[in-house]
């Protein structure tokens, strides 16, 4: 259990900034319960998460090891509105056939003012932080924040414990995932639910795009996508007067590795004044250096994810590309790598260069993710 006091404070700062009251007592409860949940994984079947070609090792939790039974319970919970009083389940907003987002940008009030664009759920086992601001800090406990802390599901623990204990399926599913829990009790519920959902979500892997097939040598890329790939990995070149000699997108510095993220926070020049949800990571750290900085999202499955950015301000990928080409806004926290766009110096991409980059980005779309039955609702079968 490595939820330190500092992180707890950060969560609290974020949540109170978001107008949400969140009790530290709840987190210390988690702390107490964490060890009992792990010591009871005896009798479960370990699950090994395969590491796809060219992926680094996943970020596994020692507190909440993946088990076949835990993943199964998590999958049921993910798709079940039993966890909420407002009729939502995780799958209301994270819809598999849409790459685990929801095209609808508007969240129910009052969440619309405190939360941002829905984030997709895949390759989470390779992320060190969760949320646009990194506000859900640990791999195994973010679901507790989401279930309880953010009020997304609007739960009442008493009601949910009663529902679980009356359910025909859950007592057995809990008992198998966390042996000994045939009676679902109030003090264990959040930690078990969190661990199970997090286990399921960590098994959602996306690594079967045309780009992956190209890297494995099993298929080619179109000439346009190949030129776009050169843009993606190319640095722009300027003469001493700042005139462009060679165009380059320079995307790979932040959207790096096969994960297409460097797993860090940057200000990518969307705004020069930071208010409300545009404050970025500052909202949880209170550090001015973090104003306007957001977690660098993966670009995998980006074709399914419009509208783009934390607030969904861009409707198309071409608008995003135009932003990087000529639209960067200056501020003190702007990523240094983007400062070359000053004084009318931009990435120098022509319409053709931008169309090519767009084609390359679309090679990161993995159709298999949208229909893989390992991730689909267990209630449909």
Minimum distance from CB of 95 to ligand HEC (Å)? 10
| Contacts to ligand HEC from residues 21-80, by CB under 6 A | none
Among 22, 76, 79, 294, binds ligand HEC (CB under 6 A): 294
Q: Does 90 bind ligand HEC (CB under 6 A)?
A: yes
Tokens matching residue 38: 């792990």
Least Å distance, CB 42 to ligand HEC, is: 26
Query: Pick from 1, 11, 125, 309: which binds ligand HEC (CB under 6 A)?
Result: 309
Report the distance separating Cα 193 and Cα 86, nearest Å: 18
Q: Is 337 a binder of ligand HEC (CB under 6 A)?
A: yes
Cβ atoms of 3 and 31 within 8 Å: the answer is: yes
| Binding segment (CB under 6 A) for ligand HEC, from list 5-13, 31-39, 239-247, 263-271 | 263-271
Query: In sequence order, what DSSP letters do the residues of 82-118 get, joined into one string?
Result: GG-SSS--HHHHSBGGGTTB-S--PPPTTHHHH--SP
279 binds ligand HEC (CB under 6 A): no
Cβ of residue 135: shortest distance to ligand HEC, in angstroms?
A: 6
Considering only residues 109 through 128, tell me which ones interact with ligand HEC, judged by CB under 6 A: 115-116, 118-119, 121, 124, 127
CA dihedral 11, 12, 16, 20 (to 10 degrees): 80
Residue number, 111 or 179, with CB nearest to ligand HEC: 111
State the nearest-atom distance from the C-beta of 22 to ligand HEC, in Å: 15
Q: Which two tokens stand for residue 286?
A: 């209170």
Spatial separation of the C-alpha atoms in residues 227 and 146, rounded to whole Å: 41
Q: Select from 60-68, 89-97, 176-184, 212-220 the region that touches ligand HEC (CB under 6 A).
A: 89-97
**Residues 265 and 307 sit within 8 Å (Cβ to Cβ):** no
Candidates 64, 145, 250, 290; binder of ligand HEC (CB under 6 A) is 250
**How far is the C-alpha of 53 from the C-alpha of 165, rounded, in Å?**
43
The residue behind tokens 């969904």 is: 312
Crossing angle of the two packed helices 186-202 and 24-39, in degrees rounded to 10: 70
User: Of 14, 22, 266, 375, which one interacts with ligand HEC (CB under 6 A)?
Assistant: 266
Question: Measured between alpha carbons, how far apart are the two ends of the chain, in Å?
Answer: 36
Query: In 3D, which of 14, 57, 3, 44 has the Cα closest to residue 277?
Result: 14
The answer to whether 321 contacts ligand HEC (rule: CB under 6 A) is: yes
Residue 197 interacts with ligand HEC (CB under 6 A)? Answer: yes
Output Rg (C-alpha) for the chain, integer angstroms: 22
Q: Are 11 and 141 in contact (CB under 8 A)?
A: no
Q: How many residues in the shown chain lie near ligand HEC by CB under 6 A?
A: 50
Is 225 a binding residue for ligand HEC by CB under 6 A? The answer is: no
Give the interface segment with ligand HEC, choosing from 166-174, 205-213, 308-316, 373-381 (CB under 6 A). 308-316
Of 147 and 207, CB closest to ligand HEC: 147
User: How would DSSP label each residue in 180-242?
Assistant: T-SS--HHHHHHHHHHHHHHHHHT-----SHHHHHHTTSS---HHHHHHHHHHHPPPEE-TTS
- Choice from 139, 225, 270, 283 touching ligand HEC (CB under 6 A): 270
Contact status: 137 vs ligand HEC (CB under 6 A): no
Applying CB under 6 A, does 95 fall inside the site for ligand HEC? no
Nearer to ligand HEC among residue 129 and residue 178 (C-beta): 129
Structure tokens at 368: 């298999």
380 Cβ partners below 8 Å, 6+ apart?
none
Q: Which stretches of the chain bind ligand HEC, using CB under 6 A?
A: 88, 90, 92-94, 107, 115-116, 118-119, 121, 124, 127, 130-132, 142-143, 146-147, 152-153, 197, 201, 249-251, 253-255, 266, 268, 270, 294, 296-297, 299, 302, 305, 308-310, 317, 320-321, 324, 335, 337-338, 357
């Amino acid at each position: 259990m490595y939820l330190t006091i500092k992180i707890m404070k950060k969560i609290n700062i974020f949540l109170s900034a978001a107008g949400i009251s969140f009790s530290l007592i709840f987190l210390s409860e988690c702390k107490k319960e964490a060890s009992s949940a792990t010591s009871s994984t005896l009798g479960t079947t370990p699950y090994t998460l395969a590491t796809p070609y060219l992926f680094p090792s996943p970020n596994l939790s020692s507190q909440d090891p993946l088990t076949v039974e835990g993943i199964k319970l998590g999958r049921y919970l993910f798709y079940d509105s039993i966890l909420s009083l407002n009729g939502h389940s995780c799958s209301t907003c994270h819809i598999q056939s849409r790459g685990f987002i929801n095209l609808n940008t508007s969240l129910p009030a009052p969440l619309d003012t405190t939360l941002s664009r829905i984030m997709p759920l895949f390759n989470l086992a390779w992320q060190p932080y969760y949320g646009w601001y990194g506000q859900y800090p640990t791999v195994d406990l973010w679901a507790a924040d989401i279930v309880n802390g953010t009020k997304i599901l609007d739960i009442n623990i008493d009601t949910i414990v009663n529902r679980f204990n009356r359910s025909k399926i859950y007592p057995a599913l809990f008992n198998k995932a966390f042996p000994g829990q045939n009676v679902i009790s109030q003090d264990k519920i959040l930690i078990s639910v969190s661990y199970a959902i997090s286990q399921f979500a960590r098994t959602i892997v996306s690594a079967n795009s045309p780009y992956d097939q190209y890297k494995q040598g099993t298929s080619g890329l179109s000439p346009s996508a190949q030129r776009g790939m050169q843009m993606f990995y190319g640095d722009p070149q300027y003469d001493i007067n700042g005139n462009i000699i060679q165009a380059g997108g320079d995307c790979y510095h932040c959207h790096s590795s096969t994960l297409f993220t460097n797993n860090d926070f940057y200000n990518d020049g969307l705004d020069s004044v930071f208010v409300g949800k545009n404050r970025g990571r500052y909202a949880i750290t209170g550090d001015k250096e973090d104003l306007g900085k957001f977690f660098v999202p993966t670009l995998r499955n980006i074709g399914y994810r419009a509208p783009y950015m934390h607030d969904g301000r861009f409707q198309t990928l071409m608008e995003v590309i135009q932003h990087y080409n000529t639209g960067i806004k200056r501020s003190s926290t702007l990523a240094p790598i983007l400062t070359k766009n000053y004084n009318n110096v931009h990435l120098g991409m022509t319409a053709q260069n931008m169309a090519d980059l767009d084609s390359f980005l679309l090679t990161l779309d993995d159709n298999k993710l949208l229909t893989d039955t390992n991730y689909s609702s267990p209630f449909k079968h």
